[in-house]
Chains A and B, each alone.
Chain A
Amino acid sequence: MPANLTLVNIIPQSLSGETNFDSEPNLAVDPANPSLICASAFTPNPAGSGDAPIYVSSDGGNTWSLQAIVPSDQMTADITLRFSANSNLYAGIIRTPIQNDAPRLNILRSTNVLSGVEMTVLVDRTGQGVDQPYIQVGSAADGQGGTADVVVCGDNDFNQPSQTATLDFSASAASSPAPFSTAAVDVRAGNGDAPSIRPAIHADGTVYAAFLSRTGGNDPNFIYNVVVTRDDQLGQGAPPFGALTDPSDGLAGVLVATNRLIPFINQPVFGQERIGSTLTIGVDPRAGQSGTVFLAWADRVSQNDYTIHLVKSTDRGQTWSADLLTITNATNPAVAVNTDGVLAFVYQQLTGPFTPNQVSAANRWVTHLQTSTDMGTTWNDLVLATTPANQPPNPPPGQVQAMLPYLGDYLHLMAAGSTFYGIFSANNTPDPADFPNGVVFQRNHDMNARTLFDVDGVTPVDISIDPFFFKLTP
């Protein structure tokens, strides 16, 4: 493994017998103490009851444990995590069980994640239902010589009267009670938005949000505009998130790309994965650089593909570049810039011949981490994993139905200082060929036999999907 790279399968040794599909991972690094890292996935409580668990590392990601502190019945239906500069952990979740057909949004906080104490509920909303909370956390001067926790959570809120892209935000989320505001950010007429609403926060008070605004089409072939909106005062602008307007109609939110076909297929159609809402946004964190922002989404450009586009704006989102990268048959993009101005981009690409609803031994899920020292002109490509896309099968052995997502509707990449931290989910076969730049397993395994073993060290365990943490200092 390169000296500047860490790649760890985060399933603890004490859970060596598990065979869950631990997909859709997310990650939080404490900016005040980067040794403290939390991660999440679709991991159920191993005891079969109680709160939902998260993974915790207190040694910079080298070793991990699992503890149940999320108030949701055994598992969440969605979860994202982020730390504040004050070492508070925030989470946006869809709480289970889902009742009356209406997913329930919770925004949570823990002031001491190592205490084992259940997280506190700050926001609790159901109504017609809310989907896919994606939380980001920044900081601002609190006027008393310290810093306040700034929390912005993108979510798809079906309570909105028209378009559903929504932000829940607070400029002082560490307060008790924490004051949160809600803003519908898609102001155009339409038919509802895609599930992904992604915020990005800069320390100067700039907040970007990206969403996919549905303009037409029929199930499953929906048509969307890719939209970016902005607020320059941590959501306190008048109106909130109205700082960017599109020249075509003068309405809030710049239309980065229009009339894009994005099929929403909630079946294991794409390397055993579903497709339909793929989006990420990241801002240059350096002082004076909040005008540089990167955006990636996936759409269909030909007959059956699912293609990622990565673009850049250097004028605070008003205008956007042509594709910096165009990745065919890929999903789960995430973008980040570190404090040295290095750009990183991670994604998972399905290689081999692709036919919808079919997968074979010729297909692989390849997880790339690309970095650029010239803001996206040239790239260095690091393959973190290349795993068989047809294994483990979905549905898994012994089950009659598939489960989705297979790898996740998202993963995560972030920077803390000069280091990039990320997480993805993949086939967990302990095969060195699957991890060409090396990997460390905590759970019992034999790399030579390419076999996992239970806690007893003897009983073979079926392969499944696990979360993998990575850390790179370019």
Chain B
Amino acid sequence: MAGTASPEELAAKARFVFRGTVQQLNATTIPEVRDTSHTAVVRVDQTMQAPKSLRHYTGKEITVRLDDPNQMKAGDEAMFYTDAWLFGNGGVAVRSLGEHDVGTRTAPPLTPGSDPVTYLEDRDAQAHYDSADLVVSGTVSGVTVPPDARDNRGPREHDPQWREAVVDVEQVHKGQPTRQVVVRFPASLDRAWHQAPKLRAGDRGHFLLHGAETGPLVRGAEEEPRLYTALHPEDFERADHPGPIRRMLSRMKEAGKS
């Protein structure tokens, strides 16, 4: 049953990881899946890692599309590493990225009582931290409109309406030590940008920042401070609204990494 990818590699790619039991091959729980040549009905025995939309399926049967259905038979138990495929009117179908025997080393670890949604949030936060150029805790001291914001180009729905926040740094968790950093963010409410943090003077919290390397965000003069961006919803987490970033920083602090 085990493929070439390790449990850790599969868990890093998959969104929905569960221990399950194959109920029936070449079958489906939802009529939207027409081709059942590669599908199986699988009972979710324990959910290890899940997005919120898949948190209610422990104990239920779902449809799994397998790469190689010949590797499994009814009654087999396995760890399934999957991504969402189809949200139907009577259930869900997922695509398997790989399966491993339950008896082998598992990832995520089989921790009784752990919340699968929190586990995935923490995993995503760690990946986001790893991709950031600078991670700091601090407070926004002011927000300005940069000269190249180009707010007046006429009717453009997706104009980002760039703004720049100056952040007074209290602690650097990753990157070069600094006392102040400039963060560019889109003020636009348009659906293309609305999830990006909308920073205001006085906002205090944790910033996961990415250097602006290309395009119109690049600053011209070398003596100007390096510009960072906050475009992703997890690029800023308010201190008074603790979430996965604070949990991660706390874990790192306990481990002596921050």
**Chain A contact residues, CB within 8 Å of chain B:** 12-15, 17-18, 23-24, 42, 45-50, 53, 56, 58, 63-68, 75, 77, 94, 96-103, 114-116, 129, 131-132, 158, 191-192, 194-195, 214, 219, 222, 264, 266-268, 276-277, 400-405, 409, 442, 454-456
- Which B residues, 179 to 215, have Cβ-Cβ distances below 8 Å to chain A? 188-194, 198, 214-215
Query: In the complex, are the beta carbons of A98 and B192 less than 8 A apart?
Result: yes
Contacts of A77 in B (CB 8 A): 158, 190-192
Query: In the complex, are the beta carbons of B191 and A63 less than 8 A apart?
Result: no
Q: A97-B231, A404-B191, A404-B194 are in contact. Are A67 and B86 (CB under 8 A)?
A: yes
- How distant is the Cα of A214 from the Cα of B153 in the complex, in angstroms? 12
Give the size range of B's interface with the partner: 35 or more
- What per-residue 1/0 map shows which CB atoms of B1-44 lie under 8 Å from chain A? 00000000000000110000000000000101011000000000
Query: In the complex, are the beta carbons of B34 and A114 less than 8 A apart?
Result: yes
Query: In the complex, are the beta carbons of B89 and A12 less than 8 A apart?
Result: yes
Query: In the complex, are the beta carbons of B198 and A75 less than 8 A apart?
Result: no
Among candidates B53, B155, B159, B217, residue contacting A46 with C-beta atoms closer than 8 Å:
B53
Between B32, B160, B216, B217, the greatest number of chain A beta carbons within 10 A of the residue's beta carbon is seen for B32
Contacts of A191 in B (CB 8 A): 154
Q: A97-B231, A219-B154 are in contact. Are A455 and B56 (CB under 8 A)?
A: yes
Among candidates A68, A195, A405, A454, residue contacting B56 with C-beta atoms closer than 8 Å:
A454
Instruction: Assess whether B69 is interfacial by the CB under 8 Å rule.
Output: no
- What per-residue 1/0 map shows which CB atoms of B78-101 lie under 8 Å from chain A? 000001111111111000000000
Contacts of A96 in B (CB 8 A): 192
Among candidates A42, A47, A158, A455, residue contacting B15 with C-beta atoms closer than 8 Å:
A47
Contacts between chains A and B (CB distance < 8 A), count: 150
Task: Give 13 pairs: A residue, B residue, CB < 8 Å, sorted on A.
Answer: A18-B53, A42-B191, A47-B16, A48-B51, A49-B83, A56-B32, A75-B191, A77-B191, A116-B85, A116-B86, A195-B157, A266-B159, A403-B194
- What per-residue 1/0 map shows which CB atoms of B145-172 lie under 8 Å from chain A? 0000010101111111000000000000
> Helix, strand, loop or mixed for chain A's interface?
loop
Q: A18-B53, A77-B191, A103-B192 are in contact. Are A65 and B86 (CB under 8 A)?
A: yes
With both beta carbons as reference points, the residue of chain B lying nearest to A403 in the complex is identified as B194
Instruction: Assess whether B124 is interfacial by the CB under 8 Å rule.
Output: yes
Query: In the complex, are the beta carbons of A49 and B215 less than 8 A apart?
Result: no
Query: In the complex, are the beta carbons of A15 and B53 less than 8 A apart?
Result: yes
- How distant is the Cα of A192 from the Cα of B32 in the complex, in angstroms? 45
- How distant is the Cα of A222 from the Cα of B32 in the complex, in angstroms? 47
Contacts of B34 in A (CB 8 A): 114
Query: In the complex, are the beta carbons of A58 and B32 less than 8 A apart?
Result: yes
Query: In the complex, are the beta carbons of A276 and B88 less than 8 A apart?
Result: no
Instruction: Assess whether B52 is interfacial by the CB under 8 Å rule.
Output: yes
Contacts of B156 in A (CB 8 A): 129, 131, 158, 195
Instruction: Assess whether B54 is interfacial by the CB under 8 Å rule.
Output: yes
Contacts of B193 in A (CB 8 A): 98
- How distant is the Cα of A152 from the Cα of B85 in the complex, in angstroms? 30
Query: In the complex, are the beta carbons of B51 and A131 less than 8 A apart?
Result: no
CB of A194, distance to nearest CB on chain B (Å): 6
Q: A56-B32, A63-B89 are in contact. Are A68 and B158 (CB under 8 A)?
A: no
Query: What 8 A-B pairs come out closest when comparing CB atoms?
Result: A100-B215, A46-B53, A47-B84, A77-B192, A264-B155, A403-B194, A66-B87, A455-B56
Among candidates A12, A14, A48, A400, residue contacting B198 with C-beta atoms closer than 8 Å:
A400
CB of A331, distance to nearest CB on chain B (Å): 14
- How distant is the Cα of A404 from the Cα of B186 in the complex, in angstroms? 14
- How distant is the Cα of A326 from the Cα of B6 in the complex, in angstroms? 65
- How distant is the Cα of A47 from the Cα of B86 in the complex, in angstroms? 10
Query: In the complex, are the beta carbons of B194 and A402 less than 8 A apart?
Result: yes
- How distant is the Cα of A8 from the Cα of B51 in the complex, in angstroms? 27
Query: In the complex, are the beta carbons of B155 and A195 less than 8 A apart?
Result: yes
- How distant is the Cα of A97 from the Cα of B210 in the complex, in angstroms? 15
Among candidates B15, B32, B189, B217, residue contacting A48 with C-beta atoms closer than 8 Å:
B15
